[in-house]
Chains A and B, each alone.
Chain A
Amino acid sequence: MLDIVRRAQGRDHEAFELLVEEHAPEMYRIAAAIVGAADAWDLTQETFVVGWEQLPRLRDVRAFRSWIRRICVNRSRNWLRHSHRQAGLASLEDEEGRAAERLHASRGFEAAAEARIVLEDAFLRLPPDQRAVLALHYSMGLSIAETAEAIGVRVGTAKSRLSAGLSSLRTSLATEGVAPSPETVT
């Protein structure tokens, strides 16, 4: 694998394609977990385009996975930041549909479905940094240390963002009338 990275640094397209095959599924999942599946395809493309352009700068080829993961996370967070205004507009359109779903769920006796809708809304309202930490740690199964590295912050910062994100989700549940559990998520 290290040799493949070195070859790709030398502008070997075939070698880079091997890296894409190896890592694109993970990058797609990361993007989907942070911003949603609808935009994960474009973000995965962007990630590897940037990766291709910046690859000659990577000196420690063993760090390729962390490095490309970092690019993907950055792209996803930037996407969230830059799409903030549009999100405000889109939310108005989505609101009717969500309200209908919520009504159906409340009538439809599917507490889990209702909870999911509430959580989805709450998750989409989280700041990009908190979304990224929750997605990497829980959705991708990365350790706190790996999550911190992927985001570029210290472990303590990652922990505090994780805690803040979880707290926000619980608060939203309580606000929506779905009582949060006093249990602690670890």
Chain B
Amino acid sequence: MTDEQVVEYLRSRGRVETPDGLTRSVMEAVAHTSPPKRSLVAVPLGTAAVIGTLLLVVVALGGSGTAGDRATSSSPTLSGLPASQSPAPSASPSHGASDSPTPLPSRSADRPTSSAPPQGERYVAVDGFAITVLDHREADLLFAEPDRCISENDYTVLFPDAWYTNTQTGDVAACSWFSPDFFEVTAPGTAPDAIWIELSIVDGTVGYTSLTDVFYNEQLSIAGREARRVEFNPEPTGDPRFRVYHYVIPLGRAGPTFVAYTDNRMADDYELAKAVLDRLVASLGE
């Protein structure tokens, strides 16, 4: 036995004759399918809304958000009834590596914000998705036939079949972490290094005490709720290259809040992570 025989065996698996009648059989099956599902909500391009000076000074976002404590609401709702008002808004961050991140300096009211995607990027409407998503070929392919993840936190998302997500682990709900690489949860409640995307339900509301480097802001509607898509640098006085891309969906006036998050420290391919996150969030409520 040689390795050549191993290869020859593997090659032989591809040497099969296509049976007669395959095309006809396929087309007969296609003819019996129902019409394709189309999106119920079409969000046209250009619905971006500038946050401008509307600052929600409630919770300061700090840190990478890839690890640390997670204040997971016990009764969040995204697709169901209006969210419970019971969780009190938190004055401390509930999504981040630190329990008490340093508040960022106040932001100048006339500081410009952006509603246009960063250079080289564009949002496009994709059939079946309720919101626009970043134009990204690889992400499109990843969602050719996505897998579905159902969280006990009352949301369902589609994600790339080739990617990995978590089952419920301690206080972390299923479908909270997503990565193209296999990962294991070694410390309860702590996100593994391998994850690229995190979905979480945080107590209270999420806002921005100061965003000196806002690269993109858009207000949109997701699963019938007001939502915001933002790309920014939460550490404007630190690493100027740090980028955070997240969605914030308030589930109640005082919280809790659904946050879908990635950043260029946790994702090896940040652009792909953003595009996947778009599609993942766009599938909420499908």
Please give the residue numbers on chain A whose beta carbons come within 8 Å of chain B beta carbons, in ascending order: 11, 13, 16-17, 20-21, 24-25, 28-29, 32-33, 37, 40-41, 44-45, 48-50, 52-60, 63, 66-67, 70-71, 74-75, 77-78, 111-112, 115-116, 119-120, 123, 134-135, 138-141, 149, 151-154, 157, 166, 169-170, 173, 178-181, 183-185
Q: Are A139 and B38 in contact (CB under 8 A)?
A: no
Asked whether B186 is an interface residue with its Cβ less than 8 Å from the other chain, the reply is no
| Additional A-B contacts beyond A40-B16, A52-B36, A57-B143 (19; CB < 8 A) | A20-B23, A32-B14, A49-B26, A49-B30, A54-B36, A56-B127, A60-B140, A63-B137, A63-B140, A78-B161, A119-B6, A120-B9, A123-B9, A138-B7, A152-B161, A166-B3, A173-B1, A173-B6, A178-B1
Q: Which of B5, B36, B144 contacts A67 (CB 8 A)?
A: B144
Q: What are the residues of chain B within 8 A of A157 when measuring CB–CB?
A: 180-181
Contact assessment for B6 and A13 in the assembled complex, using a CB-CB cutoff below 8 Å: no
Whether B16 pairs with A17 at a CB distance below 8 angstroms is: no
Determine which of B13, B18, B27 lies in contact with A17 in the assembled complex, contact meaning CB atoms within 8 Å. B27
7 closest cross-chain pairs (CB), A and B: A139-B14, A152-B162, A138-B10, A181-B2, A25-B18, A139-B13, A56-B127
Interface string of B6-28 (1 = CB under 8 A from A): 11011111101011001101110
The CA of A48 and the CA of B144, in the complex, are separated in Å by 12
Cβ–Cβ < 8 Å partners of A58 in chain B: 140, 144
A-B Cβ contacts below 8 A, count: 167
Residues from chain B with a CB closer than 8 A to the CB of A78 are 161
Contact B30 A60 (CB under 8 A): no
Answer yes or no: B40 CB below 8 A from chain A CBs: no
Q: Return 13 A-B CB contacts under 8 Å, by A number.
A: A20-B26, A21-B23, A45-B25, A45-B26, A49-B33, A52-B33, A53-B37, A56-B36, A57-B143, A75-B145, A115-B1, A119-B5, A183-B3
A141-B161 in contact (CB<8A): no
Tell me if B6 and A74 are in contact (CB < 8 A).
Answer: no
A17 x B23 contact (CB < 8 A): yes
Known contacts A60-B137, A138-B10: A49-B144 contact under CB 8 Å: no
Q: Are A48's CB and B30's CB within 8 A?
A: yes
Indicate whether A44 sits within 8 Å of B10 (C-beta atoms), given known contacts A29-B18, A49-B33. Answer: no
Do the beta carbons of B25 and A59 come within 8 Å of each other? no
Query: Given A37, A54, A70, A180, which contacts B16 in the complex, CB threshold below 8 Å?
Result: A37
With A48-B26, A63-B141, A115-B1 already in contact, the answer to whether A29 and B128 are too (CB < 8 A) is no
Q: Are A151 and B22 in contact (CB under 8 A)?
A: no
A74 to B147, CA, bound (A): 10
Give complex CA distance A131, B5 in Å.
17
Chain B: residues with Cβ within 8 Å of the partner, total of 49
A180 and B145 form a contact (CB under 8 A) = no
Answer yes or no: B187 CB below 8 A from chain A CBs.
no
Hey, which chain B residues are within 8 Å of A24, CB to CB? 18, 22-23, 26
In the complex, chain B residues whose CB is within 8 Å of the CB of A180: 1, 3, 6
Interface positions of B (Cβ within 8 A of A): 1-7, 9-14, 16, 18-19, 22-23, 25-27, 29-31, 33, 36-38, 124, 126-128, 135, 137-138, 140-145, 160-163, 180-181, 268-269
| Complex interface: chain B residues within 8 A of A57 (CB) | 126-128, 140, 143
Decide if B29 touches A48 in the complex (CB within 8 Å). yes
In contact, A29 and B14 (Cβ under 8 angstroms): yes
Judging by beta carbons under 8 Å apart, are B7 and A185 in contact?
Answer: yes
Bound complex: CA A85 to CA B8 (Å): 29
Bound form: Cα–Cα A138–B11 in Å = 5
Q: Write out the residue numbers on chain B whose beta carbons fall within 8 Å of the beta carbon of A17.
A: 23, 27
Residues of B within 8 A of A181 (CB): 1-4
CB closest residue in chain A, given B272: A154
